[in-house]
Amino acid sequence: MKSEIIAVGSEMLTPFRQDTNSLYVTEKLNSIGVAVAFKTIVGDRQKDLVSAIRTALGRVDILVLMGGLGPTEDDLTREAVAEALSLTLRRDATQVAALHARAATWRIAMPQNNLKQADVLEGATLLPNPNGSAPGQWLDTTFGGYRKLIALVPGPPHECRPLFDAECLPRIRAVAPPRAIAVRTLKAAMIPESQADKLLAPVYSAYSDIETTLLAHAGDLQITLICAKPDAEAARQRVDELAEGLEEILEDWLYSSEGDSLEQIVLYYLGLRQATLAVAESCTGGLVAQRITSVPGASRAFLGGAVVYSDALKTSLAGVPAALIAKHGAVSAEVAKALAEGIRARTGASVGLGITGIAGPTGATESKPVGLVHIAVCDPQGCDVLERTFRGDRQRIREWAAQQALDMVRRRLM
Amino acid sequence: MKSEIIAVGSEMLTPFRQDTNSLYVTEKLNSIGVAVAFKTIVGDRQKDLVSAIRTALGRVDILVLMGGLGPTEDDLTREAVAEALSLTLRRDATQVAALHARAATWRIAMPQNNLKQADVLEGATLLPNPNGSAPGQWLDTTFGGYRKLIALVPGPPHECRPLFDAECLPRIRAVAPPRAIAVRTLKAAMIPESQADKLLAPVYSAYSDIETTLLAHAGDLQITLICAKPDAEAARQRVDELAEGLEEILEDWLYSSEGDSLEQIVLYYLGLRQATLAVAESCTGGLVAQRITSVPGASRAFLGGAVVYSDALKTSLAGVPAALIAKHGAVSAEVAKALAEGIRARTGASVGLGITGIAGPTGATESKPVGLVHIAVCDPQGCDVLERTFRGDRQRIREWAAQQALDMVRRRLM
């Protein structure tokens, strides 16, 4: 069965805001074997909305409309579905009472306009919305002689998502042909982008029953395998078989077979080794610390560190000898190593990480280009030191450097 | 004139990847007074693509197709436009030669499939693509008796965006009615979300000729005003007039009238006061340092700081007396102040910032809930200390705390 998602709202046709609910709803639809064939974004104009709804009903079986259910004049989704399907709207007395009760709780006078939210499409079921005033609606109907399922769900993510899960997904599952979906997500770090697909494509393209998606960003590669089959065990086996083949190629670029983030894996290895980590960051300016501390429970193995943007702080907070900076320059292998060793000594961490580089756009010298980064990881057994030159703008260079640094810690702990 | 953007690619119908080119193209179209009425995302299936193209040509004047111009079997945009408009495709000899030359430079044998990229739609103009092998195409044609402008541009952002700017925008501008667009972006920090629209709507809704967009995220409010008029001066005057009215309401919540980020403004004020900043972060774990150092040239006023996740580091790196932590707990106003003062003393910065809190999901006690954050900003004249309890998950609490902290630094410097 094919589906379409229509996101309703003029703000999503500006350069400033993007629909994100559809990613969530897509994942949920895929999980019950329903593919999304089209996504449409349309503004708050009834004529445009009617056109989008009719087009969708002409090409898919399941239509999810997100947004346009609120109380304002701009909220036209109910009216547009009514027009597109020549249905009447009736005002539901129970719903009117509920809206009055809600307004009373909030001790506010209810504007007359609010009652729009009690308008129900002919033949539709109201879907309770515990997180907002506008209920969803569910319509099991026909269009052009074919059965069509239509879900109207509110736009705000904290209303849309739970309502879709609780009310829409079970209703679609009951109608969609039973299919089991197996999903695996592999993650790899710092594999050269030009090599990844060249190495992996010959393997995954032999699995035409598995949808393989590669997503690469600043040294992080996510490979998602999705297989839908009537039989759950068969789907799982196929996905596991392909995952094994890809893992073999990825070798130690692979850091997770279960979709974990690199920072989660670093914390996992730290726990396994009963080790602790501290960082001294210059060009990444707190990016590594921020990634690690985004993981709940990071405090068990991550002590903290220093953001040593100025040379003076490299000395005062991370114990890098001023003479070393004067001799080799702040961006050098020697200073990276001194940062890693210094922050270890200062904090008592078992593993120290030091990063220094030129994120740009300024700061380059004749011998040291923008993008040059030195990274060192030290533990009681010694140090790994790496020099890389990353390309891109300031943001990209910082992201690459942080990724490379975390990957070096992972490899050191492995 | 109304336009539609069609993003082509099955990967954008998965939960993992989203079209982002359309935000860029929308901004450019808006800048010459062309509104985007629909966005459609469609997979790599010719039938679906033809349906999407015909639908678009039935409802808009300008169609921008992004993606599907590469050499693989999945690249079907050329074929789909040909089918939708009953046009022939002819293989362009010059383009074939260019593809061969390109392959020769790279010293690779050219697969036969590559020649698809030399297929030109009947009546189309080829648009040079300096960043890739597939040229764009421009079609000035009719559909259903109406004039239609159709642009085919490649999908990769670094090919799509420069090609759209250089080749498509001037061609659309030449046809679109001359309109000048005035844009202003106001930014405000920590204004309560429930108040923002209630305060601002009565003012901006009186300007029906200005499109006002409010975008709020974790204590950051962006207000964009767009006004299109035949006369440039008139458009600018209207936007400035509304901006002035909104600025009056926003008072000192407003931190920029020109779209700068909060971290840019903090660095601006630091420069103005010839002051320097150092930070000691616990629950935000480097997020504040990372935001500040994302601005090019941050090193002029930002010295660095400490990420003091463990209590021991609060003492060793930021000089917080262990007895103070023992007495008041790590999450307390006293420790926030000691962090700010300690990092000032350790680094010699004129302004010190200290943040301590409970980002969750664990770590709460009976008297200290998840979301509780203490923040202190100290300079030679004294300290500002604030206690807030933020709601949301770990990520949201950290983002709110970082925003609040930067805003306190701004207000201290004002």
Per-residue pLDDT of B309-351, as tens digits, reads 999 999 999 999 999 999 999 999 999 999 999 999 999 999 9
Q: Which residues of A touch B292 (CB under 8 A)?
A: 285
Q: Which backbone phi and psi does B183 adopt, to 5 degrees?
A: -130, 135
Q: CB A40 to CB B35 under 8 A?
A: no
Q: How far apart are CA A271 and CA A265, in angstroms?
A: 10
Using the 8-state DSSP alphabet, how is residue A320 labeled? -
What pTM was estimated for this model as a whole? 0.86
Residues from chain B contacting residue A52 (CB–CB below 8 Å)? 38
Question: CA A222 to CA A254: how far, in whole Å?
Answer: 10
Whether the Cβ atoms of residue A412 and residue A379 lie closer than 8 Å to each other = yes
| Phi, psi at A188, each rounded to 5° | -135, 150
Nearest to B67 by CA among B160, B167, B168, B140: B160
Residue among B59, B303, B307 whose CB faces A310 most closely: B303
Query: Distance (Å, rounded) from C-alpha B73 to C-alpha B45?
Result: 10
| Position B71 pLDDT exceeds 90 | no
- A414 closest CA partner among A266, A297, A258: A266
**Chain A residues lying within 8 Å of B288, measured CB to CB:** 286
Q: Residue B192: is the preceding peptide bond cis (ω within 30°)? A: no
Please state whether beta strands A146-153 and A136-143 pair in parallel, antiparallel, or not at all (unpaired).
antiparallel
Which residue among A16, A38, A307 places its CB closest to the CB of B307? Answer: A307
Give the tens place of pLDDT for each residue, A66-84: 999 988 888 999 999 999 9
Confidence class of residue A194 from pLDDT cuts 50, 70 and 90? low
d(CA B137, CA A286) in angstroms, rounded, equals 44
Q: Which domains does chain B have, with CATH numbers?
A: 2-175 (3.40.980.10), 180-256 (3.30.70.2860), 262-413 (3.90.950.20)
Contacts of residue B195, Cβ cutoff 8 Å, sequence gap at least 6:
none
d(CA A256, CA A407): 12
Phi, psi of A317 (to 5 degrees): -95, -30
Residue A40 and residue B43: Cβ atoms within 8 Å? no
SS3 label, residue A192: coil
Q: What is the CA radius of gyration of chain B?
A: 27
The backbone torsions φ and ψ at residue B107, rounded to the nearest 5 degrees and listed phi first, read: 55, 45
Q: Helix (H, G, I), strand (E, B), or coil: what is residue A141?
A: strand
**C-alpha distances out from residue A393 to A82, A359, B297, Å:** 50, 8, 14
- Provide the 10 A C-beta neighbour count for residue A185: 18
Distance CA B157, CA B160 (A): 5
pLDDT digits 0-9 by tens, B113-123 = 788 899 999 99
Greatest Cα-to-Cα distance within chain B, rounded to the nearest angstrom? 83
Find the closest chain B residue to A31 by CA distance: B15
- Helix or strand run (H / E) with residue B291: helix B287-293
- Find all residues with CB under 8 Å of A185, minimum gap 6, and list them: A222, A223, A224, A225, A256, A258, A259
In the stretch 188-217 of chain A, residues with CB closer than 8 A to chain B read 211, 213, 215
The band of B193, judged by pLDDT with boundaries at 50, 70 and 90, is low
Nearest to A39 among B41, B297, B317 (CB): B41
Closest among B361, B413, B410 to B190, alpha carbons compared: B410
Q: Are A185 and A226 in contact (CB under 8 A)?
A: no
B7-46 pLDDT tens trace: 999 889 988 889 999 999 999 999 888 999 999 999 999 9
**So what's the pLDDT on residue A159?**
93
User: Chain B residue closest to A43 (CA)?
Assistant: B37
Q: Is the dihedral of CA A6, A7, A11, A17 positive or negative?
A: negative
pLDDT at B194: 66
On chain B, the residues whose CB falls within 8 A of the CB of A15 are 23-24, 26-27, 30
Q: Is A316 on the interface with B (CB under 8 A)?
A: yes
For tokens 């580089």, what's the residue? A357
For residue range A348-386, list pLDDT tens digits in order. 999 999 999 999 998 899 899 999 999 999 999 999 999
Smallest CA-to-CA distance from A40 within A75, A66, A17 is with: A66
pLDDT at A193 over 70: no
Closest C-alpha to B314, from B287, B291, B289, B337: B337
Q: Is the confidence at residue B244, as pLDDT, over 80? A: yes
Q: Is the pLDDT of residue B106 over 80?
A: no
pLDDT per position as a tens digit, A94-118: 999 988 888 787 777 777 778 889 9
Instruction: Provide the pLDDT confidence category of residue A17 given band limits of 50, 70 and 90.
Output: confident
Alpha helices by DSSP H, listed for A148-253, are 157-163, 169-175, 193-204, 232-250
Contacts of B318 in chain A (CB under 8 A): none
In chain B, residues with a C-beta closer than 8 Å to the C-beta of A397 are none
Shortest alpha-carbon distance between residue B97 and chain A (Å): 25
Q: Is A407 helix (H, G, I), strand (E, B) or coil?
A: helix
- The DSSP output letter for A311 is H
**Closest residue to B306, CB basis, from A11, A317, A360:** A317
Q: Using alpha carbons, select from A148, A127, A150 the residue that is nearest to residue A139.
A: A150
Residue B383, both tokens: 């300290």
Rounded Cα distance between B39 and A18, Å, is: 11
Residues in A 27-66 with any Cβ partner in B closer than 8 A? 27, 30, 35-43, 45, 48, 51-52, 55, 59
Write out pLDDT tens, residues A237-249. 999 999 999 999 9
3-state secondary structure of B207: coil
CA atoms within a 13 Å half-sphere pointing along the CA-CB vector of B307? 34
What pLDDT digit, counting tens, does each position of B272-308 carry?
999 999 999 999 999 999 999 999 999 999 999 999 9
- Mean pLDDT, to the nearest integer, of A184-203? 88
Yes or no: say if A337 and A376 are a contact pair by the CB < 8 Å rule.
yes
Residue B350 DSSP SS3 = coil
Burial of A33 (0-12, 13-18, 19+ CB in 10 A): buried
Query: Which contiguous run of DSSP H or E holds residue B410?
Result: helix B394-413
Give the Cα separation of A20 and A31 in Å (integer). Answer: 18
Position A153 scores a pLDDT of: 98
List the beta bridge partners of residue B42: A38, B8
Q: At CA B70, angle to CA B68 and CA B73, rounded to 5?
A: 80
Contacts of A100 (CB under 8 A, 6+ apart): A110
Residue of chain B with shortest Cα separation from A299: B309
pLDDT at A221: 94
Residue A298, amino acid = A
Strands B180-189 and B254-256: antiparallel
Count contacts between A and B (CB, < 8 Å).
220
Q: Which of B38, B52, B316 sits opposite A346 (nearest CB)?
A: B316
> pLDDT tens digits for A284-305?
999 999 999 999 999 999 999 9
**8 Å CB contact between A196 and A251:** no
Closest partner residue to A38 among B52, B299, B308, by Cβ? B52
Fill in the DSSP letter of residue A1.
Answer: -
Closest Cα in chain B to A222: B16
Tell me whether B14 touches chain A (CB under 8 Å): yes
A281 part of contact set with chain B, CB < 8 Å = yes
* Cα B117 to Cα B70: distance, rounded to the nearest angstrom: 6
Which residues of A, range 341-360, sit inside 8 Å of B by Cβ?
A: 346-348, 359-360
DSSP secondary structure letter of residue A167: I
The secondary structure of chain B in percent helix, strand, coil, rounded to multiples of 5, reads 45, 25, 30
With vertex at residue B116, the alpha carbon angle to CA A191 and CA B83, rounded to the nearest 5 degrees, is 120
Determine which of A307, A344, A353, A406 to mutate to test the interface with B (most B C-beta atoms within 10 Å). A307
Which residue of chain A has the CA closest to B310?
A303
CA distances from B263 to A24, A134, B294, B307 (A): 31, 38, 9, 18
For residues A290 and A284, what is the distance between their CA atoms, to the nearest angstrom? Answer: 10
* Contact status, residue B384 vs residue B337, Cβ threshold 8 Å: no
In this prediction, residue A37 carries a pLDDT of: 95
Tell me the C-alpha distance between A406 and A164, whole Å: 37
CB B99 within 8 A of CB B110: yes
Would you call A313 and B303 a contact, using CB atoms and an 8 Å cutoff? Answer: yes
Number of other residues whose CB lies within 10 A of the CB of residue A268: 17
Residues in chain A closer than 8 A to B213 (CB atoms): 11, 14, 16-17
The predicted pLDDT at position B131 comes to 87
| Phi/psi at B57 (5° precision) | -65, -20
Total length of chain A: 414
Closest partner residue to A362 among B213, B287, B297, by Cβ? Answer: B297
